[in-house]
Structure 1
Amino acid sequence: MLNLAIRGHDLSEVTSLESLAEKTQAQGIQTLQLALGLSFPALLSEGRNINPGLGQLVKGTLQRKNIQVGILSCYINLIHPDRTLREAALSKFESYLRHARYFGAAMVATETGNVFPEIRYTTKNFTEAAFEEMVQGIERLTAVGEQQQMLVGIEPGLNHPLHSLDRTAQLLQRVDSAYLGIILDPTNLITSETYRSQAALVQEAFDRFGDKIIAVHLKDFQVREDQIIPVDLGTGVIDYPAICQVIAKEKPGTFVVLEETKDQAIGNAVSLIQQVLKKERESCNE
């Protein structure tokens, strides 16, 4: 049993909340990871713009089609080198935490950023100094999360200071908060040399800190010229059957977001995963 979700901005030609709800429902999905600024570029969605009325409007409109916001996205650069921009980003996330309950969300999500203004791979992210700055930012956000009783979802990735399972375990030791959770995207943690061990990576993550995993991103990919290229689920090389089996065993009902699977490919992905889960149930009943 999994709670399958999609990112709202993986649906094209969404022009209103109503069309977002209709297109989501048409794909057999009931849960969204919603990035307001990406689904609705014309909508002002900075921290000062978020308010209870907007949250209730979004929640109510989606509910009419039996759709809910599971994850509210607020992806920021926690360690932006420009201190003014960093402060603005942290303040924005804090505003999202204060208002997420009006949207009906269970958490607010972000990655950990980059030592450069843009997000890109650099070993400078892997220094102790970058890690310490990241910890300071997450401590600040989880303090607000605790006040608001709202989960802070942090997503590791190779392009960020939180770049490995070891660093993730270290973070969880440093920031001991019931409101800090991990959004695991295994595709963000592998390279063209390590991708074949992706299912083992997912199992290891659950073995080491499964109690803190609050959502999983399922992102299929192909390997081209040593690059990991995201594709629709079922058209790449991700071992989604093995990964889904691990998730269903370790954390039944958890959010599994079909990231980068778009439009009509979503329905096909849902069918593929349902087949995997059905076979797993049948084997358990034998």
Structure 2
Amino acid sequence: MKLGIFAKTFEGTDPALVLKAVANAGFSSTQYNMACSGLTSMPDEISEEQARSVADAAVAAGVEVVAVSGTYNMIHPDLAARQSGHRRLAVLAERCAAMSTGLITLCTGTRDPVDQWKEHPDNNTPESWRDLLDAMGTAIEIADRYDVDLGIEPELANVINSAGKARQLIDELKSPRLKIILDPANLFEVETPEEQQTIVSSAIDLLADRIVMAHAKDRSSDGRFATAGKGVLDYGHYLRRLSAIGFEGSLITHGLSAAEAEGVAAFLNAKLTSSLGAPK
């Protein structure tokens, strides 16, 4: 597995400086965000020059851009907001090749009108599912047009709030463009160690054929999110289960400060070595 980090962890609007910081902290891959190029995360326009500057900076830093963030609320209660997200997704997808990446990360969304990461009771309604299918259909058309893949992540606060729902979406849409980003800390809040292991193992087994990226953050004992290595997540179990399905992609950490980045890289390297028997 390759170690990676959200580029947005580091301040700056120059991709050369941001990606150099990624490398200096001990990471060889990154999930990029257009904010690191001085744009919004989902811009209305990205020039060819702006896109190529990301690829050039990645080569100079020795960092692989394994994905670019393209999150918008795919089931926003306002249809116009969803349509705006689709337009910006197309802008991003068109420039992926120039940025030397082929994966866009999505947010399956929530009915909350303000925060796309906030749970809402209507997320589990048939209407929300119908709207997600419609939105994903549009996103897949865009992905086909520009030859990119789309990564979704089971997340308790979103409409795809379990591995089971992610599998259902994959099976209903039947598109090879749809991939999985797995973050075990998004699958539980407060569980016993045994139940945590069961949840993580079941999710990996159920989604094994679609997992292209793994995320690395943590949960504290009271259910709050925490920096990787500073919570209760059993990283040894998580990494062994990923290895068991043949996963060789990037393990991307996020939800941490820039000051914590080197320490997290050291923690993850140590866990990879102790769990899988080989330094990375």
TM-score, length-scaled by structure 1: 0.89
Alignment partner of 1:60 out of 31, 56, 60: 56
Q: Secondary structure at the match of 2:110?
A: coil
Residue identity matched to 1:27: A
Equivalent residues in 2 for 1:97-176, closer than 5 Å: 97-119=93-115, 120-176=118-174
The aligned counterpart of 1:93 is: 89
CA RMSD of superposed structures (Å): 2.0
CA gap of 1:48–1:62, structure 2 versus 1, over 3 A, is same
1:231 equivalent to 2:226? Answer yes
| Separation (CA, whole Å) in 1 of partners of 2:111 and 2:224 | 24
Say how many residue pairs are matched: 276
1:17 equivalent to 2:7? Answer no
Equivalent residues in 2 for 1:262-281, closer than 5 Å: 262-281=257-276
5+ unaligned residues in a row in structure 2: which ranges?
none
Compute the displacement of 1:209 (Å). Answer: 2.2
| Separation (CA, whole Å) in 1 of partners of 2:88 and 2:187 | 27
| Separation (CA, whole Å) in 1 of partners of 2:277 and 2:257 | 30
> Bigger shift: 215-224 or 125-134?
215-224
CA gap of 1:240–1:195, structure 2 versus 1, over 3 A, is same
- 1:1-33 CA distances to partner (integer Å, 9 max, x unpaired)? x1211001222x335222212211111112111
The aligned counterpart of 2:26 is: 28
Equivalent residues in 2 for 1:77-92, closer than 5 Å: 77-92=73-88
| Separation (CA, whole Å) in 1 of partners of 2:42 and 2:271 | 40
| Separation (CA, whole Å) in 2 of partners of 1:149 and 1:194 | 42
The aligned counterpart of 1:244 is: 239
- 1:154-191 CA distances to partner (integer Å, 9 max, x unpaired)? 11211111111221111011111111101112212212
Compute the displacement of 1:200 (Å). Answer: 2.6
CA gap of 1:79–1:64, structure 2 versus 1, over 3 A, is same
- 1:112-163 CA distances to partner (integer Å, 9 max, x unpaired)? 1111212322221011110111011111111221222210111121111111
Compute the displacement of 1:44 (Å). Answer: 4.8
Compute the displacement of 1:47 (Å). Answer: 4.2
Paired residues of 1:131 and 1:162 also in contact (CA < 8 A): no
| Separation (CA, whole Å) in 2 of partners of 1:279 and 1:45 | 36
Equivalent residues in 2 for 1:32-43, closer than 5 Å: 32-37=30-35, 39=36, 42-43=38-39
Identity of aligned residues (%): 21
Residue identity matched to 2:19: A
Residue identity matched to 2:47: N
| Separation (CA, whole Å) in 2 of partners of 1:16 and 1:111 | 25
The aligned counterpart of 2:3 is: 4
CA gap of 1:238–1:44, structure 2 versus 1, over 3 A, is closer
Compute the displacement of 1:282 (Å). Answer: 4.0
1:210 equivalent to 2:205? Answer no
Residue identity matched to 2:6: R
Q: Secondary structure at the match of 1:75?
A: strand
Q: Secondary structure at the match of 1:64?
A: helix
Residue identity matched to 2:183: D
Paired residues of 2:189 and 2:219 also in contact (CA < 8 A): no
Q: Secondary structure at the match of 2:152?
A: strand
Compute the displacement of 1:193 (Å). Answer: 4.2
TM-score, length-scaled by structure 2: 0.91
Compute the displacement of 1:231 (Å). Answer: 2.2
